[in-house]
Amino acid sequence: MKKNALTKKQRKTLKRILIALTIFIVLQVVSAVGAFDALPAGAGLWVQFALFLVPYLLAGYDVLAKAWHGIVHRQPFDENLLMAIATLGAFALVFFPEAEPHMAEGAAVMLFYQVGELFESYATNKTRKSIAAMMDIAPDYANIEDGEGNLVQVDPATVAVGDVIVVKPGERVPLDGEVVEGKSQLDTSALTGESVPSVVEPGVAAISGCINMTGVIRIKVKAPFAESTVSRILELVENASEKKARTERFITRFARYYTPIVVGLAVLIAVVSPFFGETLTASVQSALIFLVVSCPCALVISVPLSFFGGIGAASRIGVLVKGSSYMETLAHTETVVFDKTGTLTSGTFNVVAVHNEDHIDPDLLLSYAAHAEAYSDHPIAVSVKESYEGVIDQSQIDHVEERSGRGVAAEVRAHKVLVGNDKLMREAHVDFKDCELVGTILHVAVDGEYAGHIVIADVLKPDAKDTVAALRAAGVKRIVMLTGDREEVAAAVAGELGIDEYRSQLLPADKVAEVERLLGETSEAGKLAFVGDGINDAPVLMRADIGIAMGAMGSDAAIEAADVVLMDDKPSKIATAMKISHKTMGIVWQNIVFAIGVKIAIMILALPFIGIATMWLAVFGDVGVAIIAILNAMRALRVK
Ligand code: ADP
Ligand code: MG
């Protein structure tokens, strides 16, 4: 299908409106040259009445039908009924002998209303589609080699973990896995907004949804399709409209009261003002204008559309916002709390030194540590395993126990091994030695005896420093770092980044308590965001007003628990997402103030005894305002 094309239904409506519009213009011209006046008195009016009914019915028969349907089903208060009453009312003025005829306005209101409706459905479609297009990451197939070495295309959902798939240049990576053969560049822009391609070669992870650009690669599948990055993202985006923002709910509620109140006022004006000396025509006309501007569609459509656009803009830069309520919260974030490891730092540790006790060989120390960490996904564990040069023999490992915030305990080759920090050693009553080096210290104990420690160091993410400045520029008042790591490391990282507050040596539960304390210190309207990688901090992600997780290397639990996911693990994207949220909220409020303001102004001008407003102005107050608000809402979709 061609991009931006109208749907079949929209095209049909457009045709109908254009024909009605042509007839309408011809009639207006005929009437302007005075042709109707040439007819005998009285007859001219009725001829006009009949003629203007043609474009009116052609353009609006479906509105009348829907209004009737609403009445029959006892749910009359919708815009169709309002339109029907207002336009039929304009035509009905012909029955008041002293009234000026308003058939042209009646037909025009219906025509422009339909033009507006068409535009609305086009704009809504377009916004939704552009997110879908951006999110056009779903793979159609995966290539698998059959017995004879031929490639066959299969449904990605049928590929098993451990299978090897082949991805040719120009194809989308269908499943998450690790490259086992070939070298290529991957275009990750659909996922992260990052325009620089990432280079992959054997041993490097390939993420589903990326496009393979240059070479043929073979990928060993690491997760079933349902758990792949692509499936998870699509699920998040599909559910995003369910979590409505407060502003959005407010507008829905507002519309529920606004319409009946204005309709009530219209009835009141029509019935009461003639008794105070206003002419019947003027009273009815005031009432009709009220009816036309009582339609809240400018708000009801543009507000959700703005949020949708904002979510779309964020996903373009690789930030998945799980609902418009989080868009709103982002805009009001006052305190940002960071986890350290894997969030501000890259989470890939280098071994700086191995300080073994005399009775044990350094390689053996490392081997014990690597084996004990075999089943852990903690960045520390991953790094230790990577720096260990031998092979990890899983059959030598037993009784593995992860002690979050402290380390691991396991039986390796029938020896009880502990690997972790001071806390872990103290709990096991192992005497350990301190280290003068700055870095994270992994103490190792074997059978209750201290065996030495491994000093590891992490590096800051390249954008960590800019993040702090960018957040302050985006209006964040307080930035705090929480970590389970040593005081020395925490102080060094915080100092380097210019973060004024930090807490170290926290257990996961301490982090929750700390966030709760900080929540108590935020202002009434201010919100608290927690940013983590989800290793050991999923409970904190849930507790914060808004939980932000690293998507690429974060754990599944984090992506589940989080409200916002950073696809490329760059904390600086939070500041960009906040800017988008500010812009979105700005647009939302512009639309609310503009639409309500114009409508109230028109109602005042239309009041009996003032009577300056015309039906034409009322049409603008309905359709014109809606179109302007929608155009404004569509700005939210644009980034930069
Ligand atoms: P952070 O708050 O910096 O993200 P964590 O709460 O994940 O850190 O861990 C806190 C500390 O607990 C680490 O600095 C480390 O000393 C210890 N630790 C946690 N998990 C492990 C592990 N798998 N192996 C060794 N030490 C660990
Ligand atoms: Mg962590």
pLDDT band at 601 (very low <50, low <70, confident <90, very high): very high
Measured from the alpha carbon of residue 484, the closest ligand is 1
Do 519 and 550 lie in one domain? The reply is yes
Q: Which residue has the higher pLDDT, 373 or 34?
A: 373
- C-beta 266 within 6 A of ligand 1: no
The string of pLDDT tens digits covering residues 401-416 is 999 889 999 999 999 9
pLDDT band at 553 (very low <50, low <70, confident <90, very high): low
**DSSP letter assigned to residue 624:** I
The string of pLDDT tens digits covering residues 285-310 is 889 888 888 878 788 888 888 998 89
Do 113 and 34 lie in one domain? The reply is yes
The 10 Å Cβ neighbour count of residue 133 is 12
Do 361 and 268 lie in one domain? The reply is no
Do 384 and 421 lie in one domain? The reply is yes
**DSSP letter assigned to residue 638:** -
Boundary residue ending a domain (537, 567, 597): 567
Boundary residue ending a domain (439, 460, 481): 460
42 pLDDT more than 80? no
| CATH code of the domain covering residue 152 | 2.70.150.10
Q: Tell me whether residue 228 is in a domain.
A: no
Q: Which residue has the higher pLDDT, 17 or 551?
A: 17
- Residue pair 198/185 in contact (Cβ under 8 Å)? The answer is yes
Measured from the alpha carbon of residue 538, the closest ligand is 2
Do 127 and 22 lie in one domain? The reply is yes
- Residue pair 301/120 in contact (Cβ under 8 Å)? The answer is yes
| Rounded mean pLDDT, 139-147 | 87
Given ligand 1 and candidates 421, 424, 499, which is best to mutate, with the most ligand atoms within 8 Å of its CB?
Answer: 421
Residue numbers of the domain that contains 188: 142-171+177-222
Measured in Å, residue 485 CA sits from the centre of ligand 1 at 6
Do 523 and 488 lie in one domain? The reply is yes
- CA atoms of 635 and 128, how far apart (whole Å): 14
Q: What is the pLDDT of residue 133?
A: 58
pLDDT band at 513 (very low <50, low <70, confident <90, very high): very high
| Rounded mean pLDDT, 366-381 | 92
| Rounded mean pLDDT, 150-159 | 90
Do 631 and 509 lie in one domain? The reply is no
5 pLDDT more than 70? no
Do 22 and 84 lie in one domain? The reply is yes
Q: Tell me whether residue 576 is in a domain.
A: no
Measured in Å, residue 57 CA sits from the centre of ligand 2 at 66
Do 57 and 123 lie in one domain? The reply is yes
4 pLDDT more than 80? no
Q: Tell me whether residue 231 is in a domain.
A: no
Residue entry with tokens 């980044």: 497
390 pLDDT more than 70? yes
Measured in Å, residue 383 CA sits from the centre of ligand 1 at 12
| Rounded mean pLDDT, 622-627 | 86
- C-beta 485 within 6 A of ligand 1: yes
pLDDT band at 1 (very low <50, low <70, confident <90, very high): very low
- C-beta 440 within 6 A of ligand 1: yes
The residue nearest atom 24 of ligand 1, judged by CA position, is 407
Q: What is the pLDDT of residue 446?
A: 95
Q: Tell me whether residue 229 is in a domain.
A: no
Q: Which residue has the higher pLDDT, 114 or 230?
A: 114
The string of pLDDT tens digits covering residues 442-492 is 999 999 999 999 999 988 999 999 999 999 999 999 999 999 999 999 999
| CATH code of the domain covering residue 527 | 3.40.50.1000
Q: Per mean pLDDT, which range of 31-45, 164-178, 299-313, 472-486 is the poorest?
A: 31-45
Q: Tell me whether residue 328 is in a domain.
A: yes
Q: Which residues contact 517 (CB under 8 A, 6 or more apart)?
A: none
Do 99 and 126 lie in one domain? The reply is yes
Q: Which residues contact 129 (CB under 8 A, 6 or more apart)?
A: none
Q: Tell me whether residue 574 is in a domain.
A: no
Number of compact structural domains in the chain: 4
- C-beta 484 within 6 A of ligand 1: yes
Q: What is the pLDDT of residue 102?
A: 79
The residue nearest atom 21 of ligand 1, judged by CA position, is 407
Task: List the catalytic residue out of 176, 187, 339, 485.
Answer: 339
Angle between helix 572-606 and 464-473 (nearest 10): 20
The residue nearest atom 14 of ligand 1, judged by CA position, is 485
Measured in Å, residue 614 CA sits from the centre of ligand 2 at 64
| Rounded mean pLDDT, 241-250 | 82
Measured in Å, residue 350 CA sits from the centre of ligand 1 at 15
Q: What is the pLDDT of residue 294?
A: 81
First to last CA, the chain: 29
The residue nearest atom 16 of ligand 1, judged by CA position, is 421
Do 535 and 556 lie in one domain? The reply is yes
Which run of H or E residues covers position 417? Answer: strand 415-420
Measured in Å, residue 381 CA sits from the centre of ligand 1 at 9
- C-beta 419 within 6 A of ligand 1: yes
Given ligand 1 and candidates 365, 483, 497, 541, which is best to mutate, with the most ligand atoms within 8 Å of its CB?
Answer: 483
Given ligand 1 and candidates 337, 371, 378, which is best to mutate, with the most ligand atoms within 8 Å of its CB?
Answer: 378
Q: Tell me whether residue 401 is in a domain.
A: yes
The residue nearest atom 22 of ligand 1, judged by CA position, is 407
Boundary residue ending a domain (460, 491, 513): 460
Do 189 and 275 lie in one domain? The reply is no
Q: By percentage, how much of the chain surpasses pLDDT 90?
A: 45
Q: Residue 398 catalytic?
A: no
- To the nearest whole number, what is the mean pLDDT of the chain? 87
Q: Which residue has the higher pLDDT, 259 or 223?
A: 223
Q: Tell me whether residue 314 is in a domain.
A: no
Measured from the alpha carbon of residue 511, the closest ligand is 1
| Pair of tokens at residue 464 | 């960590």
Minimum-distance ligand 1 atom for the alpha carbon of 537: 6
Q: Which residues contact 261 (CB under 8 A, 6 or more apart)?
A: none
| Pair of tokens at residue 423 | 């806390």
Which range among 111-120, 194-203, 526-535 has the greatest average pLDDT?
A: 526-535
- C-beta 453 within 6 A of ligand 1: no
Given ligand 1 and candidates 340, 366, 406, 444, which is best to mutate, with the most ligand atoms within 8 Å of its CB?
Answer: 406
- C-beta 558 within 6 A of ligand 1: no
